Amino acid sequence: MTQTTPQQLADRLRARFGDRIDNIEVSVGQATIEVPPAHLVEVCTALRDEAEFRFVQLVDLCGVDFLGFGEGEWATSDTATSQGFGRGVQGDSVQGRFGWENRPQHPQFLRRFASVVHLLSYEYNARLRVRSFAPEDALPVLPTLTGVWPSANWYERESFDLYGIIYEGHPDLRRILTDYGFVGHPFRKDFPLIGNVEVRYDPEARRVVYEPVTSVTPRVTVARVVREDSRWQTSREEAADDWKDN
């Protein structure tokens, strides 16, 4: 087995594919390339077959929604106090938290939906991440990779189910995790946390019915942060003394 470093792999990819790749970067010990949809199947086929790459195994494929990437739900600098961490009662956007159309875009990720593939080369003991952005946000469409790696089949179905990414040419693109009557795609950033539909058994109709959500109140859940200070230490010592006295 010949070891190939991520930087060596990045140099090979840059020399081989040139303008067929939008971007190449090496971060956290792994190379990542961004490939336009028009060249995705061609590049992936070469990565699998050519002797200098030999990425014969597709380890994983997933969808990603970059909507609101790099933004924080809570502005914590204004809520941290000398008495500890005060829980904010409102997010950064008071009205219409899920109104994303006017939100600023991240300077690197200007498109919303991407399909990310993780590849493994046994011959060179190397891993590679391949990312491809769908040209349209309203209807994200990317070419299927089932013709390159058959194992992409169920991964792409999962990505379609959770993110709504359509893989053109897929032999059987349908939901795989959610119910047949599920509305929407639950991993999208603008999907409401309470969902769109709730299911219950109707004793009068004697069947399961789907209805708009009414039993759950929309909210944003933020984990509580406990900060150590002298008060907590004193309280513990006093509690311990009381326990000894009793």
Please report, for the chain, the start and end positions of each structural domain, with discontinuous segments joined by +: 1-68+110-177
| Nearest one of 76, 103, 96 to 222, comparing CA atoms | 76
Flag whether pLDDT at 98 surpasses 50: no
Number of other CB atoms surrounding residue 38 within 10 Å: 11
pLDDT, one tens digit per residue, over 182-237 is 889 999 988 888 888 888 899 999 998 888 888 877 766 656 566 666 666 677 77
- Given this model, what pLDDT does residue 77 score? 52
Phi-psi region of 195 (alpha: psi -120 to 50; beta: other; left: phi over 0): left
β-strand pairing of 80-81 with 84-85: antiparallel
Assigned CATH for 1-68+110-177: 3.30.460.80
Flag whether pLDDT at 13 surpasses 80: yes
